[in-house]
Chain A
Amino acid sequence: MDIKNIAASGTLLAVGIGFGISSIFAMDVGSALRMGPGYFPLILSIVITVIGVAIGIKALTETETFRPQIAPLRALAAIIVAPILFGLTVRGLGFVPAVALTTLSAASAAGGQRPLVVLAITLGITVFCLGVFYYGLGLPVRLIGPWLGV
C-alpha cells in the first residue's frame, strides 16, 4: 500500500463527501436550467470524491513507505497558536499585549533558544510593529484593552 496516497485519498474523500452531503441536504440543488445554490458545489464535490476514489484504488496496489519529514510538534503548536492568540486577545488585552503574545508564541517555535533571546526578539518585534502599524499606518486599534482595566 502507498500510505501517502491513501492519506491523500482520505483527505479528498472527507472534503468531497462532506461538501457533497451539505450540498444535497442543506441546499436546493435545482436543475441544470434553474441551478440552485447546491448545484455547482455538488458537481465539484463529485469531482473531488471521484478523484479521491481513483487515487485510493491506485494506492492500494502500489507500495511506498511514507515517512514524511514533519516540523517538531513544539514548532507546529507554537506557530498555529500564534495567530489564534492574536485573535483571542486583540480586543480584550489590546494591540501591544496581543502582538507580544503572538510573537512570543512564534519565537518559541524554534527549539534550543535561550529564554532571554526569545524575550529580546519578542520585545524588538513588538516595538517595531507598534511603530509601523500604529504610528506609521495608523491602524485603528486600542493599544491596551479593557481587560487590563484601562
Chain B
Amino acid sequence: MDLIGNLALGLSAAMTPYNILFCFVGTLLGTLVGVLPGIGPTATIAMLLPITLSLSPETSLIMLAGIYYGAQYGGSTTAILINLPGESSSAVTALDGYQMARQGRAGPALAAAALSSFFAGTIATVVVAALAPPLTSIALKFGSSEYFGLMVLGLAASIVLARGSVLKTIAMVSMGLVCGLVGTDINTGAMRFTLGRPELADGLNFVAVAVGLFGIAEILRNLETTIERTAVVSRVAGLWPSRADLKAMIGPAFRGTLLGSALGVLPGGGAILASFASYALEKKISKTPERFGNGAIEGVAGPEAANNAGAQTSFIPMLTLGVPANPVMALMIGAMIIQGIVPGPQVATTQPVLFWGLIASMWIGNLLLVILNLPLIGLWVKLLTVPYTVLFPAILAFASIGVYSVNSNTFDLYVMAGFGVFGYALSKLDFEPAPMLLGFVLGPLLEEHLRRAMTISHGDISVFVTRPISAGLLAVALIVLTIGFLPNIARRRKEVFVEED
C-alpha cells in the first residue's frame, strides 16, 4: 500500500510555503465571506473563483479547497453566534450552538465546532486518499456508455436530493445541460445557440454563469428586505471546553465523521444530509435527549464533524471520475477546465502532484482553520458587525473584476448580469439553481459520451443496457428517480428541507 508514499508526495507539494500561503489566504477569504449571513459555500466560491485563476493549477485548486472549508466553517460561526446559519448544512449547528451561546458558552460551542471539524477533516483526508486510487483504476476501464450511465446516475441523485419539486429540478438540469452546449459543436464545428456572437463560440463562460446564478442572485435576495443587520453578537468568553465538554464531544465527533464520510460521496447534498443524520443519531442514542435543542454540546460536535467529513469526501467522485457531486465540485471542475486540465480518472496518473497535493492540502486547510478560528474569533465577531451596505458593493466589484480577468472579455460581464437576473427570477418561481449548474458542467461531457457510445455501437441504443456496468448504473439511476417520485418520499423530502429553512 503506497498510501503513505502518496500522502507524502502530496504533503511535499502542499507544504511549499507558496501553497501554504494560498491555502491560508483561501481559508481566510472563505471564512470572511462565509461568515456573512446568507452566503453559503457555493456563492462564496463562485464569487472568489476568478481570483484564483491567475495562479498555477495546483495552487488554485488548493486555494479553492481552502475557500470551501473556510466558507463551510464561517457558516457555523454565524450559526452559533447570531443564530443565522450561513449555509444549509450548518442549520443544525444553530439549534444547540446558539443556545449554548445564549447560556454564555459561545466559546466552548465554537471550540467544539472547530475541534470536531478538524478531527473529521483529518480522518476524511485519509479516507479520500485510501479510496481514490482503487476507484480511479476502476474508472479507467470505463467506456463511453459507462460514463454516460455514471453521469445520468449523478444527475438523477442530485435531482432527488435537491429540495423542491422533482419535475422542476429535472427541468433545471435539462436547462443547464442545454446551456452547456452553447458554442462550437466539437464533432462538426457547427455553431450552436451563439446568436451570431463570436464571443459565444467557446460557449458561455462558466465563471460568469456561476457568479450570476449564485452571487448576483444572492445579493438581490438579500436586498429584498431593508438591510439593517442589528447583530446582537453574543460575547465570547472562555474559549476552551472543559474536560467534561471534551469527553462529551469525542463520541459524537467520531460517529459524525463516519456518517459524513459515507454520505458525503452521495451526489447532491451529501454534507447536508450527513449533518441532519448525525444530529438525529446523537439525539436518539443520548441518555438525555431532552437536552438537545437547549444547548447540548453533542448537538454541535456531531453535525459539525459530519458536515466537514462530508464536504471532504464529496471530492471523491470529482477526483476519481471527473463527475461533480454537488455545485461546489462543479465549480472545482470548472476551475480545472479553465486551467487546461481535463477532469477524470487520468488526472491521478498524469498529474500526481496536483492530485495528491490537493488531497494533502485538505488536511492542511483544516489545520489552518483551527489556527485561524480559535485565536482570531474576536475578529470574526467584529466582522459580523460590518454593515452589508459596505460588503455587497465590494463583492460586486470583486466579481466584476474577476469575471473580466478570466478571459479579458467584456461580453462575459453581460452574461454574468443576465444570469444574475435569470437566477433571481428562477428562485422566485421555486426553481433551484444548483442542479442547473451541475447540468451546465456535465452537458458537453454527457453529449460527447452519448454520441460516442452510439457511434461505436452503430446506432444500437441497446449498448447502454447490454454492457453490465452501464446497465447497472442506469438501473440505479432509474430506481433513484422512481423513489423521488413516490409520494411518501416526496413528503419526507419536504419535511427535511422545511426543517432546514
Residue ranges of A at the interface with B (Cβ–Cβ < 8 Å): 4-5, 7-8, 11-12, 15, 19, 22, 26-28, 31-41, 44-45, 47-48, 51-52, 54-55, 68-72, 75-76, 79-84, 86-88, 90-91, 99, 102-103, 106-107, 109-110, 112-113, 117, 121-122, 124-126, 128-129, 133, 137-140
Contact = CB atoms under 8 A, between A and B. Distances in A.
A100 to B, nearest CB: 9
A108 B190 CA distance: 43
A79 B216 contact: yes
B203 to A, nearest CB: 13
Given A22-B193, A28-B190, A48 B414 contact: no
User: Contact residue range for chain B?
Assistant: 35 or more
Contacts of B400: 82-83, 86-87, 99, 102
A48 B170 CA distance: 8
Contact of A99 (B220, B397, B428): B397
B190 A37 contact: yes
B397 A79 contact: no
Contacts of B401: 86, 99, 129, 133, 139
A28 B392 CA distance: 45
A59 B489 CA distance: 22
Interface stretch (B172-180, B259-267, B295-303): B172-180
Interface of B: 51, 54, 167-168, 170-171, 174-175, 177-178, 181, 185, 187-188, 190, 192-193, 216, 219-221, 223-227, 388-390, 392-394, 396-401, 403-405, 408, 410-414, 416-417, 420-421, 424-426, 428-431, 446-447, 450-451, 454-455, 458-459, 461
A82 B192 contact: no
Given A44-B174, A125-B397, A133-B401, A37 B430 contact: no
30 contacts: A8-B431, A27-B192, A33-B458, A34-B459, A36-B188, A44-B177, A44-B178, A48-B178, A68-B428, A72-B223, A82-B396, A83-B414, A84-B417, A86-B404, A87-B410, A87-B412, A87-B414, A88-B410, A99-B397, A102-B396, A103-B394, A107-B389, A109-B392, A109-B393, A110-B389, A122-B393, A124-B390, A126-B397, A129-B401, A133-B401
A80 B96 CA distance: 39
A67 to B, nearest CB: 11
A71 B223 contact: yes
